[in-house]
Amino acid sequence: MPKSGDLLRLADAVLLPGFAGTTPPDWIRRRLGDGLAGVVLFSRNIVDPVQVASLTAELRAENPAVIVGTDEESGEVTRLEVTNGSTRPGSYALGVVDDVELTEALARDLGGDLAAAGITVDFAPSADVNSNPDNPVIGLRAFGADAALVSRHTRAFIHGLQAAGVAACAKHFPGHGDTSVDSHHGVPVVADDAIEYALAPFREAIAAGVRSIMTGHLLVPAYDPDLPATLSPKVLTGLLREELGFEGMIVTDGIEMAAVSGPYGIGGASARAIAAGADAICIGGERSDEATAAGVRDAIANAVISGLLPEERLADAARRVGELAAWSGRTRSPAAADGEIGLIAARRAVRVTRRSSAPVLPLTSPAVVVELAPQMNLAIDKGTPWGVGASLVSLLPGTTTTRFTASEATGAALEDVLSSSHGRPLVLVV
């Protein structure tokens, strides 16, 4: 059976591809005019908020109902502010403060910036409970390691963001916190005794009215020992839809990630995700070309023709995507910007531990700064600034900064730096 134009348009109606460049390429414009659901913006698409607003206006001219998504978690995962780093602390800092009114206010302020830039859905917050200290991909992106704390701040973040007119997206269902594998590279497994703990923030997110939930490419043997959550009808339909009662848009994490694309290819994984209960396919964190997006569309259409994917399921997915677009298109009063909220939150998150009565802060003289740089995971843009050395050099002239990677931080190298400090204040950044 040949692929009809209507079937291809229906397949396009569930796709959110990425693209290269700071203006929409011709293929994106053309596909939006033919019914493409939307796009996902990454730092490669962003110069500053003014440019993003112009970019999204161009997208909307092709399709007024376009969904424009991005990962703006604040903290280390930022897209709008990737050049200089986020002006707002991340989720872990908010969890340390543990003031839900502050979290809601910060999210509302963030939502105001996103709405002004024309972004309609923010793939945040991370509702993961980071209960495994060896987690390679969540870490500071989570509000903490306690399910109750993560739950209340997930609710607050959702309320704030959506009050500004931007759809929130709780991730990574059913919980990426108690894992030790990065799903960009492999398949994490959620232990049977950890799943209820991991689900608590998602239950809270649904109760808070979250408009979207992002799947994690995780194996959850308690529900399905064979398929990762993104591809599992037992997890997406049985657990998320039927047991938890979620009626909003289910969007996949990047479908090109190895945990799901490895066995089936990007197109095969996309078709299976829709069949399992996902509504929208996120493409393009690592693949941003027209051929990939066209291949996914064709694979979904072919899955309908072969019987792997019922056309009714695809139509239902497109309907839910359209409902999110309609919600995002409602006119709302813009949130008043609060340029100080990020600084206020960051100051409140600072904790000072004293081991002696010697003065520690504030620094008033040139310091020796040693930065032990972490290995960044793929969720964090590699161009995101990290550390405090450059700022201290500017504030306290004469300050010196040395940065080590894990392989460089040998005993001899550290001894050389420490021996040259000559009684100056020492700042270790980890």
Half-sphere exposure of 279 (CA within 13 A, CB side): 26
Q: CA-to-CA distance for 328 and 60, rounded, in angstroms? A: 12
Which residues are tagged catalytic? 184, 253
Structure tokens at 290: 């027209």
DSSP 336: P
Q: Which long-range contacts (CB under 8 A, 24 or more apart) does 233-242 make?
A: 233/275, 233/276, 233/277, 235/173, 235/174, 235/276, 236/276, 236/277, 236/278, 237/276, 237/277, 239/174, 240/173, 240/174, 240/202, 240/213, 240/277, 241/277
DSSP structure string for 162-210: HHTT-EEEEEEET--TT-SS-TTTS--B--GGGHHHHHHHHHHHHHTT-
DSSP 383: T
Instruction: Report whether 287 contacts 267 (CB < 8 A).
Output: no
Q: CA-to-CA distance for 142 and 47, rounded, in angstroms? A: 27
Q: Could you give the C-alpha distances from 210 to 169, 181, 315, 361, in angstroms and in order?
A: 7, 27, 22, 41
